[in-house]
Each structure stands twice: as structure tokens, then as C-alpha cells.
């Protein structure tokens, strides 16, 4: 487990790595505003269903999906 003294550094390290990238997509994602819109019950239900499918192995790998 991470000692209490290292928590701040651990939180800041991903920010440091992203700040060093020149990838404009990563920069845009990192600098995007926080989405403070409340999560709807319908969305939570969809997440629960997806988690259940994953737990039950009802998933497909990307490689198994035919490309068109």
C-alpha cells in the first residue's frame, strides 16, 4: 500500500506525464472541463448491466468483431 506521504505525488504524476506529451488529443482530454452534469438513473442502470455482462463473460474482443 502507498504510504500517506506519497499520495500527493502519486496524484500529480499522471498530470506531469500528460503535460510532457505533444499529442494534441491527450492535451485536449486533459484540459477538458469537468463534467458536473448529474448522472441519470437510466445511465447508472446501463453501467450496471454492462458490469454484469462483463462479470458473466458476455463480452466480445475487438478482434472477434467483423470489420466492414
In the chain, the percentage of residues whose pLDDT exceeds 70 is 100
pLDDT at 21: 78
Q: Is residue 66 part of a domain?
A: no
Domain assignment present for 68: no
Asked whether the predicted pLDDT for residue 5 surpasses 90, the reply is no
Per-residue confidence (pLDDT) for residue 52, from 0 to 100: 97
Q: In this prediction, what percent of the chain has a pLDDT beyond 90?
A: 37
3-state secondary structure the chain: CCCHHHHHHHHHHHHHHHHCCCCHHHHHHHHCCCCCCCCCHHHHHHHHHHHHHHHCCCCCCHHHCCCC
10-31 pLDDT, tens digit each = 888 888 877 787 888 888 888 8
Give the C-alpha separation, 48 to 24, whole Å.
33
Domain-located, residue 65: no
Total domains in the fold of the chain: 1
Amino acid at each position: 500500500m502507498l504510504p500517506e506521504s506519497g499520495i500527493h505525488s502519486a496524484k500529480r504524476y499522471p498530470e506531469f506525464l500528460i503535460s510532457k506529451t505533444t499529442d494534441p488529443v491527450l492535451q485536449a482530454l486533459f484540459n477538458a472541463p469537468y463534467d458536473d452534469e448529474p448522472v441519470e438513473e437510466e445511465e447508472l442502470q446501463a453501467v450496471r448491466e454492462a458490469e454484469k455482462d462483463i462479470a458473466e463473460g458476455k463480452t466480445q474482443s475487438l478482434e472477434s468483431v467483423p470489420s466492414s
